[in-house]
Structure 1
Amino acid sequence: MAIQDVRAQLFDAAERVLLRDGAEALTSRAVTTEAGCAKGVLHRHFADFDTFLAELVLDRVGRIAERAAALRSAAGSGSVVAHLTDALMGLFSPVAVSMVGLITFRDALRARLRAAGQPGIPVLTQAAAMITDYLGRERELGRIAADADVDTLALTLIGTGHLLFAGRDEGPPGTADVCKVVTSVVTGVLTES
């Protein structure tokens, strides 16, 4: 019996293993067992397990581009703090936080991602670029001070956001907690409330 959309099935299975058991438990056998297929299926579609993991990360990083477009189109409307809060809540899903752990856990994966043109730590790098772009657009529209350093603001939001979401046994922080962080970071540069 042919498996429909093998890549998606294997990627989804890898995410479940990663979320449930952590980066150290993510093996080709664990992924294929979770996907309900033979181990050879993964190796028919990917040169090796690190290639599989790199393509998984690149696939998931590609989803940030969709979020970035939506966030950029929101510039000029609503609340800057609310938009940034929503963006961080969406960016730091349990899967994204686990992916960051996976990338830092596996040296070979980081090397492959760099070879594929992914600088820094993928997910965090793209998230920072997304926030920088949005803040830059808000600055162009005059809702953020003209002299605001949007690159530093974005790095501060992403770094603080990651720390806020990572390593929490009790689940992700609430919207109010994230809003408090965003407010403390951007209040000094907002030109309107």
Structure 2
Amino acid sequence: MSRDIIAILRGITPPEARAIAGALIAAGIDRIEVPLNSPQPFDSIADMVEAFGDVATIGAGTVLDPADVGRLRDIGARMVVSPDTNQRVIAATKAAGMVSYPGVMTPTEAFLALRTGADGIKLFPASLIGPEGLKAMAAVLPSGTKTYAVGGVGPENFAEWFAAGATGFGIGSSLYKPGLSVAEVATRAAAMVAAYDKGRA
């Protein structure tokens, strides 16, 4: 069963990308983003796409420039995540046939993102918006809007976010941070999936 968790592998390097992605996918997390401010991000993404592109949605985060969208398309990435609502990035992503999740913090940004073609919105930083903020936004957003809480979310508040209407989550350092072994990431991923399932129930 697929979970709406996007693993954010900030700081990952190409030599470890394939093994870390494999551990996440084995645990049940099949959406993976490599922020473009990581070392050699396009190499890591290309490696993961080659190994797992048929079973996972692999892409980039912290995408700020439409030019990078073309590079991502060329290496087979399927998802573009941004910290902001950049209409040019959203439009380029959709033109390239990829999934677009721009960052929003206000209803104005959320509607702008959706009107530009975004597939869903990344609530960032979620710790400042809070479940109550999402609840208020959800009352006016189009029915079925996919909302991902990112930044300050985790097992301790999954249930609260689900109750407020969150579709899923972007999880960074509690899943992966530089220096963690593949085994440690696998353990963290299994615990995260268990917490997600419990929060969802």
* TM norm structure 2: 0.28
More strand by share: 2
More helix by share: 1
Greater CA radius of gyration, 1 or 2? 1
